[in-house]
Each structure stands twice: as C-alpha cells, then as structure tokens.
Amino acid sequence: MSAAWAPPALAAFDPALEARLRALVDGKAKPPGALGRLEDLAVQVGLIQGRADPRIHKATVLVFAGDHGLSEEGVSAYPSAVTAAMVGLFLSGRASVNAFAAAVGADVRVVDVGVAADLPQHPWLVAAKVRAGTRNAAREPAMTEAECAAALLAGLDAAQAAVRDGAEAIALGEMGIGNTAAASLVLHRLAPAPLADCVGAGAGHDAAGMARKAAVLTRAAARSDAAEPFEVLRQFGGYEIAAIAGAALGAAALRTPVVVDGFIAGAGVLAAVRMAPQLAAYCVFAHRSAERGHALMLEALGARPLFDLGLRLGEGTGAVLAIPLLRAAARLVTDVADLAEVVGPP
C-alpha cells in the first residue's frame, strides 16, 4: 500500500446480531427459506447497518466520471468528448440512470474526478477533479501516487457526504470513455487472470477494433508488473475507478450498504476489496454484466449477483435497479408478521 493512502477501518460483523437477524427472518409468516436469497440479503443489510431493524429509505447513486489517456490509442469506439457530453445528459436528468433512479426513488449525484473538460456548476455535480484525464497507460503510469490517492479520497468523501446527507444505501456508477480498457487491466492484475479473458467489446467494437484494443492493452500490461492494488490502480486505472474504490470503502466505514453496478464499478470494488478484504461483506453485487470479463470479476470477488438482464451500459443503471430489492429485504425484517401471530405459539 502507498504511504499516500490507507483504507479506513471497517467494523467486523457481530455474530450475535447475525444469529438474531436469522432467527427473526426464519420466524416470519412464511415457510423457512421461502423468500430465497432475499432472506440472506435481509440479514446482510442488518449486519452492515449493525441493527436488528434494518431500513433502506433514501438511496443515492454516485456516478463517477473521468477521461482516459488510453483513448488516444483507439481503445474505444467513441471519442473522449462523449464523457463530458454524457455528464451533461446526467445533469439534465435525461439519461438512463436518471430515469431508473426516478423509477425507484433514488438520488443521482455526478462526481467529476477527471473529466477532460470544464463543467459548469450544478446542484447534482460534485466538483472533485484531480486532473483532466489520466495519462496514456500504454506509455506511462496513468496517475502519480498523489493523484491516485486524491481520487481514492475524493470517492471516500463523496460517499460519506451522501451518507451524512441521509443516504442509507450507496449505489456506484461511472462514466468515462475508455474505462472498460482500464478495468480490463485492473482485472487482469488483481484477479489475476489472463488478459485475453478480461478484454471485451466495451461500448461496441467490431473485430478490427477488438484486435486494436487487445494489442494496446497487451502493450500497456507489458509496461509494468504491478500487482499490489494501489499500484495497479495507479499504473492502469482511471480517476473514476480509483474514486469508486474509495467510495466503497467510505460508505462501508459508515456502515452503509454498497450496491455495485457492472464491470467498471466492479473493477474499483475489486481493488478496494484487495486493500480491505472485509469490504466484500458490505457489498451487494447488483447484476451480471454482458461485458466479457465480468463473470470472471465476480468470481474473483466471490460474489453472486442478484440478477442477470444482459446489461452493459454502466452509469450505475444496474445498481439502481437493485435498490428496491434492498428495501424489500429490510422490510421483511421490520414489516412482516411473525408466524406465531398467525398460528399461535408452538
């Protein structure tokens, strides 16, 4: 770990509370296990919050945005200017993540940690720019140590500010042209796994584009043998990926469930889990992305996603769709009658 960054301490779960929550769930007016994985989710939410009456009312999705120097190498089917354009769409309230957040009653906040453009002030925008895009990781480290630490801290601060503003669940999303390339390199080193198994089509590549992307990432991987999580983020990651790692740790440090979106958000969380293994227990993995490599990432995390809808958009869309499941799981503990109320004492 770098001297510039140390992850926050995370509380261990209370075994007595776990037994109590399991007994509460098992004692509800239903056959034991009849609600399947929602029962496990109810226990997990209670353990994260440290309470026998879990609750998820307000939820916030943090969309971390940053550009990538790797885009200079043609690793994306879209130009870097699309990052700023999409951030503008998020702030207009008309992107997919906005529509889904409105549908489930979640707030949207966009955190600029590395967009290569000047963004106007907006009530939903958190200005935390470390630099206007990373350096080209095929040629040099994507970030300096100080920049990587600053991005981690920006994510931690954004998540903890949202929690202090009342959020009882933090969903993690992202926007950054070229970030599937960076996430592939992070997965390659931290799973670890063969690079060829980690590289997918991202926002859309034909065969020639895929060949070019694979060649660029092979060259980038050969440039550094980094394997420690902070150094992997510094060498190959993006400001938004590092910020996601910090946000996951920041939310968990305040005993708040972390709802993880797809491939890029998963890369940030993978780095954070490698820094602080206890973090995995604080994370709810929303879905299995259609992006190649995501199944491998989930396996590396020991994670079982809640659903598989073939999503591969990013933005936090899949994480937002999981929020109602967390709310339902919490209400199972607090709102459902006990079996004894229905059939009487044994």
Q: Tell whether the model's pLDDT for residue 346 goes beyond 70.
A: no
Q: Tell whether the model's pLDDT for residue 104 goes beyond 60.
A: yes
Q: Tell whether the model's pLDDT for residue 203 goes beyond 60.
A: no
**Alpha helices for 170-316 (secondary structure H):** 179-190, 207-223, 229-236, 239-253, 263-275, 294-301
Of the listed ranges 70-74, 144-148, 250-254, the one predicted with least confidence: 70-74
Residue 202's pLDDT is 58
pLDDT tier at 221, thresholds 50, 70, 90? very high
Summarize the confidence of residues 101-127 as an average pLDDT. Answer: 98
- Ordered strands of the 258-260 beta sheet: 125-127, 107-114, 59-66, 169-175, 258-260, 283-285
Q: Tell whether the model's pLDDT for residue 224 goes beyond 90.
A: yes
Active site residue: 168, 240, 291, 315, which one?
315
Summarize the confidence of residues 292-309 as an average pLDDT. Answer: 97
Percent share of the chain, pLDDT over 70? 97
Query: What's the CA gap between 332 and 38, in Å, rounded?
Result: 9
Q: Tell whether the model's pLDDT for residue 99 goes beyond 80.
A: yes
Among candidate residues 23, 22, 21, 28, the one with its CA nearest the CA of residue 341? 28
pLDDT tier at 201, thresholds 50, 70, 90? low
Assess contact for 287 and 172: CB atoms under 8 A: no
Active site residue 315: yes
Assess contact for 196 and 218: CB atoms under 8 A: no
Q: Tell whether the model's pLDDT for residue 227 goes beyond 90.
A: yes
Summarize the confidence of residues 303-310 as an average pLDDT. Answer: 97
Amino acid identity, residue 271? A
Q: How far is CA 11 from CA 155, 200, 281, 323, 342, in A?
A: 19, 36, 11, 23, 37
Summarize the confidence of residues 310-336 as an average pLDDT. Answer: 97
pLDDT tier at 212, thresholds 50, 70, 90? confident
Query: Could you tell me how far CA 30 lies from the centroid of its own chain?
Result: 33
Residue 75's pLDDT is 84
Q: How far is CA 175 from CA 65, 90, 216, in A?
A: 5, 10, 21
Summarize the confidence of residues 49-75 as an average pLDDT. Answer: 95
**Is the C-alpha dihedral spanning 209, 215, 220, 226 positive or negative?**
positive
Q: Tell whether the model's pLDDT for residue 85 goes beyond 90.
A: yes
Assess contact for 147 and 240: CB atoms under 8 A: no
Q: Tell whether the model's pLDDT for residue 73 goes beyond 90.
A: no
Q: How far is CA 202 from CA 40, 187, 259, 316, in A?
A: 32, 14, 21, 15
Name the average pLDDT for the chain: 95
Query: What's the CA gap between 192 and 202, in Å, rounded?
Result: 20
pLDDT tier at 326, thresholds 50, 70, 90? very high
pLDDT tier at 3, thresholds 50, 70, 90? confident
Summarize the confidence of residues 135-164 as an average pLDDT. Answer: 98
Q: Please, what are the domains in the chain?
A: 15-54+331-343 (1.10.1610.10), 59-325 (3.40.50.10210)
Residue 251's pLDDT is 98
Q: Which residues pair with 260 in a beta bridge?
A: 172, 285
C-alpha R_g of the chain: 20
